[in-house]
Chains A and B, each alone.
Chain A
Amino acid sequence: MRTILARLSLAAILLSPLTSGQAGAADVVNIYSYRQPDLIEPVLDAFTRETGIQTRLLFLDKGLEERIAAEGINSPADVLLSTDISKLVKAKEAGITQPVESDVIAGNIPSEYRDPDKEWFGITRRARVVYASKERVDADALSYADLARPEWKGRICIRSGQHDYNLALFGALIAHWGAEKTEAWMTGLRDNLARKPEGNDRAQAKGIYSGECDLALGNTYYVGLMMTNEREPEQKDWANAMKVIFPDIDGDGTHVNVSGMAMAKHAPNRDAALKLMEFLSGDEAQRVYAAQVFEYPVKPGVEASDIVQSFGALKADTLPLTRIAEERKAASEMVDRVGLDDGPQN
């Protein structure tokens, strides 16, 4: 009997968070997020201070869209936060988002960074740039196409070709160049690699510092994060060993990806969710993103951080973002076909 009681009470404890998960009070907004909590918490705290609306965050690394779809009309999700354009498009295509009419958001976010059907909105931009060794690379300007040139043989480092950031870049190149030219380029890039693709963008910077490679592909904000890393000051050395080069695609500019937001189709707290989305597109939130996370704000007039500005001016590729998402599958298959992740072969 005692054991039965013990089990029942354990079950009660385990099920208890569920009840709070069901609360639908008007002063709460539920967020399902692909972005790590520590990156959004400063912004969410500011939102709560300003509006009195509490936020609850559920961070997932995979399967966010599947979870909301499975939860259906009972899903507590109000707002989705995502780190990549393809995931925003996937959410829209899965039918788990709804259009959002807001003059505030439309005024804050330029049209190229939001969905024509108003189902997703970019919040920040990330530019995929070239990290180059200050010591061993003289060039100050490079294009993505240059990375396949024979002079860089054995000198380039990248993270896995199957990672979101690289897939988005390859998708953009396929949209610009067509599949055939991109595949030839990717093969050249593969044979220029100094080692098998591995680690994250920071690991590539580390590779430049250690002398394993001279060039690497990486997102801009990693440089800012490394330069200001007080806990691991050695990372400042990695950042200082390299310079940032903004490559372009045949003069069209540098590839950018967005992190963004969408409203869940069955959002139980629609009004609060709308307020949050408007807040995220506004000056204050955009400034926090720029200052603390070193991403490029989407809102015109909000400046990037000083560190990011010191890299030089960003000229962003004007290719519609949805084209990147459309080519994602083709890009992923190309990476497999070329064997990019196997490292150099010739």
Chain B
Amino acid sequence: MQASQAVNPAPPSPRRTATVRGLRHPLIRALALVIALLVLLPVTVLVGVGLTGSGEDWPHLVENVLPRSTLTTLWLLALVSAGTASIGVTSAWLIVAYDFPLRRLLAWALILPVAVPPYLAAYAFGEFFHFTGPVQAALRGLFGWQSARDYWFPDIRSTEGAAVVLTAVLYPYVYMTTRVVFLMQGRNIADVARTLGARPGTVFRRVLLPVARPAIVAGVALVLMETLNDIGAVEYLGVRTLTFSVYSTWLNRGSLEGAAQIAAVMMVIVFAILMAEQWARRKQGFHAARATHLKARPPRARLTGWKGVSALVAILLPILAGFGIPVQVLGRFAMRRLDQLSDPALGDAFLNSVLVAGGTALLTVAVALLLLNAVRLVRRPSVLALARVSTIGYALPGTILGLGLLFALARFDNSVDAMMRSWFGWSTGLLISGSAGAVVYACTIRFLALAEGTIRSGLEKLPRNVDDAARSLGCTPARSARTILLPLLTPAILTAAVLVFVDTVKELSATILLRPFGFSTLATHVYENASRGVVEDGAVAALLIIATAMAPVMLLSRALMRDETA
């Protein structure tokens, strides 16, 4: 108290001192609670649906379905996290620490696969590596084989194949989170270690990996949740994960209750992932001291000769797999359908996609900021737990989450309608359900984890004393958040907004369930045109999805690049 008075020419009132310690923020806490409840609404409804079930599905599930699909899911999660972590970390390190031809171009090209929806990547890989695709055709030409029985070729339609596909489009999450850490701190620490005589390998293993661990874990956690909620890719590739079991229980065995029960089991897995992430971040005390952005930093080590070539290959391969293959396959089909470009429905779908994705990005970032600010101000475990649980929707299959929301919204709409009818004699009909607002609501719930995780990573890198200092100078929490935290968090907020935008543009399953009449996004347009599981007719719109998602990614990486060269 004395100290703060000494610093501050205008001594703060005792009430303000209390706020600095974060004891009372009833408004923020109430707001955080309301938001968390709104976000958790569909999950709660689903748990309710699960509880109404009799459990009669379980003998069959336990005996014939769950052991296998749980193992498949865990194996897939293990493979995808290993794949995305190694590709993401390696490429991030190469880009940050070394100099080689095309480095600056590749730094942002590495993000591109994030623009490709997993279901399209699965389709493209299926085509590309199929008997009739270019790879096997070339092999046959080379070796003179005639039919598929003359040789063995790995099957993309397998758990391992699905892992390759998902790794190819999901590794950018790890690349992005890790690269930021390497940029902010990695080189400084690595430079110090190197001047002390450590060899590059040792520096990487002993110094950089531990520093980057929380970022890697944060990226992998996002990847795991994307893998867990995916239905399009695994269904196409014939991999029966838990999500697949959720759908077959609901649709083929007519038990939405049983499906909700499996979904509840999945949420337990997610909760474990979230806890593991929390645990991995527990000692993240590596706050970047911004002052270490020295001009006198040693130049990037130049990789030449075979080293340069291998670095180039290591970086090009994931880009080619996650972006090159889908664009090549879809491009070939799209070239035969360029007339579709003049279809006005495509323009509408594009506009709707941008609107929904833009609205979702704004809303999601706002909600994430509010929750995180509440956590930062109100240092209570209950608030922290609430904020973390709010992000659980990310791991649920989109249709299932959408159903939960649909039930809740329709119940709300019909109650309002019944009330208005009996009181005033006019019907308000379905106010929210069946509007585009419901789609934005669903996407916000789905992708809150993306925004929350990204901004939280940024927040944790800021020294705690930044806003404490401001507030000890008499700044209100709102003002210090606005004037101190927000500007420092701008890169993280931009990244979060772009990630949510991109994921919303790709989103299909919740959108198709909740949208109103005549409302198509690019993703639903692809699905509608691709009649009977034939994606070719949707190829033009599919490429437009990728392009729409790419645009903000490119802008973002340019913005981040400026940051890097500064």
Q: Judging by beta carbons under 8 Å apart, are B516 and A18 in contact?
A: yes
- Nearest-neighbour CB distance to chain B for A41, whole angstroms, equals 10
Q: Judging by beta carbons under 8 Å apart, are B517 and A58 in contact?
A: yes
Q: Judging by beta carbons under 8 Å apart, are A74 and B253 in contact?
A: no
Q: CA of A225 to CA of B355 in the docked complex: distance in angstroms?
A: 36
Given contacts A14-B437, A38-B528, A328-B252, contact A74 B147 (CB under 8 A): no
Cβ-neighbour of A38 out of B63, B65, B529, B533 (below 8 A)? B529
Q: Judging by beta carbons under 8 Å apart, are B410 and A70 in contact?
A: yes
Q: Judging by beta carbons under 8 Å apart, are A60 and B512 in contact?
A: yes
Residue contacts A-B, CB under 8 angstroms, 12 given:
A15-B435, A56-B518, A57-B518, A70-B410, A71-B414, A72-B414, A74-B413, A195-B155, A199-B126, A231-B336, A232-B333, A232-B536
Q: Inside 8 A of B337's CB, which chain A residues have their CB?
A: 231
Q: Inside 8 A of A337's CB, which chain B residues have their CB?
A: 60, 63-64
Q: Judging by beta carbons under 8 Å apart, are A39 and B531 in contact?
A: yes
Q: Judging by beta carbons under 8 Å apart, are B238 and A341 in contact?
A: yes
Q: Inside 8 A of B528's CB, which chain A residues have their CB?
A: 36-38, 59
Name which residue of chain B comes closest to A167, CB basis. B252
**3 pairs of A and B residues whose beta carbons are closest in the complex:** A211-B147, A210-B131, A18-B435
- Chain B's interface size range is 35 or more
Q: CA of A67 to CA of B404 in the docked complex: distance in angstroms?
A: 11
Given contacts A17-B516, A18-B431, A333-B253, contact A200 B132 (CB under 8 A): no
Q: Judging by beta carbons under 8 Å apart, are B430 and A71 in contact?
A: yes
Q: Judging by beta carbons under 8 Å apart, are A74 and B355 in contact?
A: no
Q: Judging by beta carbons under 8 Å apart, are A63 and B429 in contact?
A: no
Q: CA of A73 to CA of B410 in the docked complex: distance in angstroms?
A: 10
Q: Judging by beta carbons under 8 Å apart, are B512 and A59 in contact?
A: yes
Q: Inside 8 A of B440's CB, which chain A residues have their CB?
A: 14
Q: Judging by beta carbons under 8 Å apart, are A36 and B531 in contact?
A: yes
Q: Inside 8 A of B297's CB, which chain A residues have their CB?
A: none
Binary contact readout B235-276 vs A (1 if CB under 8 angstroms, 0 otherwise): 011101000000110011110100000000000000000000
Q: CA of A336 to CA of B62 in the docked complex: distance in angstroms?
A: 11
Q: Inside 8 A of A199's CB, which chain B residues have their CB?
A: 126, 157, 236, 238
| A315 located at the interface, meaning its Cβ lies under 8 Å from any Cβ of chain B in the complex | no
| A5 located at the interface, meaning its Cβ lies under 8 Å from any Cβ of chain B in the complex | no
Given contacts A38-B531, A234-B132, contact A17 B417 (CB under 8 A): no
| A197 located at the interface, meaning its Cβ lies under 8 Å from any Cβ of chain B in the complex | yes
Q: CA of A63 to CA of B146 in the docked complex: distance in angstroms?
A: 45
Q: Judging by beta carbons under 8 Å apart, are B518 and A17 in contact?
A: yes
Given contacts A14-B440, A234-B132, contact A74 B414 (CB under 8 A): yes
Binary contact readout A327-338 vs B (1 if CB under 8 angstroms, 0 otherwise): 011001100110
Q: Judging by beta carbons under 8 Å apart, are A21 and B435 in contact?
A: yes
Cβ-neighbour of B430 out of A21, A36, A56, A167 (below 8 A)? A21
| A137 located at the interface, meaning its Cβ lies under 8 Å from any Cβ of chain B in the complex | no
Given contacts A167-B252, A211-B149, A329-B254, contact A70 B247 (CB under 8 A): no
Besides A15-B437, A58-B515, 12 more A-B contacts (Cβ < 8 Å) are A56-B518, A58-B516, A59-B527, A63-B399, A74-B417, A74-B427, A162-B252, A196-B158, A199-B236, A231-B537, A329-B254, A337-B60
Given contacts A17-B517, A210-B132, contact A61 B407 (CB under 8 A): no
List chain B positions with a Cβ less than 8 A from chain A: 60, 63-65, 126, 130-132, 146-149, 155, 157-158, 236-238, 240, 247-248, 251-254, 256, 333, 336-337, 355-356, 358-359, 362, 399, 402-403, 406-407, 410-411, 413-414, 417, 427, 429-437, 440, 509, 512-513, 515-519, 524, 527-534, 536-537
Q: Inside 8 A of B252's CB, which chain A residues have their CB?
A: 162, 167, 328-329, 332
Q: Judging by beta carbons under 8 Å apart, are A18 and B437 in contact?
A: yes
| A10 located at the interface, meaning its Cβ lies under 8 Å from any Cβ of chain B in the complex | yes
- Nearest-neighbour CB distance to chain A for B37, whole angstroms, equals 20
Q: CA of A207 to CA of B148 in the docked complex: distance in angstroms?
A: 9
Q: Inside 8 A of B435's CB, which chain A residues have their CB?
A: 14-15, 17-18, 21
Q: CA of A11 to CA of B444 in the docked complex: distance in angstroms?
A: 14
Q: Inside 8 A of B411's CB, which chain A residues have their CB?
A: 70
Q: Inside 8 A of A72's CB, which chain B residues have their CB?
A: 410, 414
| A212 located at the interface, meaning its Cβ lies under 8 Å from any Cβ of chain B in the complex | yes
Interface size of A in residues (CB-CB distance below 8 Å): 63
**A contact patch SS:** helix
Q: Judging by beta carbons under 8 Å apart, are B430 and A22 in contact?
A: yes
| A271 located at the interface, meaning its Cβ lies under 8 Å from any Cβ of chain B in the complex | no
Q: CA of A210 to CA of B251 in the docked complex: distance in angstroms?
A: 32
| A114 located at the interface, meaning its Cβ lies under 8 Å from any Cβ of chain B in the complex | no
- Nearest-neighbour CB distance to chain B for A267, whole angstroms, equals 14
Q: CA of A11 to CA of B436 in the docked complex: distance in angstroms?
A: 9
Q: Inside 8 A of A18's CB, which chain B residues have their CB?
A: 430-432, 434-437, 516
Q: CA of A108 to CA of B403 in the docked complex: distance in angstroms?
A: 37
Q: Inside 8 A of A234's CB, which chain B residues have their CB?
A: 132
Q: Inside 8 A of B64's CB, which chain A residues have their CB?
A: 333, 336-337
| A305 located at the interface, meaning its Cβ lies under 8 Å from any Cβ of chain B in the complex | no
| A66 located at the interface, meaning its Cβ lies under 8 Å from any Cβ of chain B in the complex | yes
- Nearest-neighbour CB distance to chain B for A246, whole angstroms, equals 21
Cβ-neighbour of A200 out of B147, B251, B436, B532 (below 8 A)? B532
Cβ-neighbour of B359 out of A10, A16, A197 (below 8 A)? A10
Q: CA of A56 to CA of B65 in the docked complex: distance in angstroms?
A: 40
- Nearest-neighbour CB distance to chain B for A7, whole angstroms, equals 8
Q: Inside 8 A of B359's CB, which chain A residues have their CB?
A: 10, 14
Q: Judging by beta carbons under 8 Å apart, are A13 and B238 in contact?
A: no
Q: CA of A72 to CA of B528 in the docked complex: distance in angstroms?
A: 26
Name which residue of chain B comes closest to A28, CB basis. B517
Q: Inside 8 A of B402's CB, which chain A residues have their CB?
A: 63
| A76 located at the interface, meaning its Cβ lies under 8 Å from any Cβ of chain B in the complex | yes
| A82 located at the interface, meaning its Cβ lies under 8 Å from any Cβ of chain B in the complex | no
Q: Judging by beta carbons under 8 Å apart, are A66 and B436 in contact?
A: no
Name which residue of chain A comes closest to B360, CB basis. A14
Q: Judging by beta carbons under 8 Å apart, are B512 and A210 in contact?
A: no
Q: CA of A62 to CA of B247 in the docked complex: distance in angstroms?
A: 9
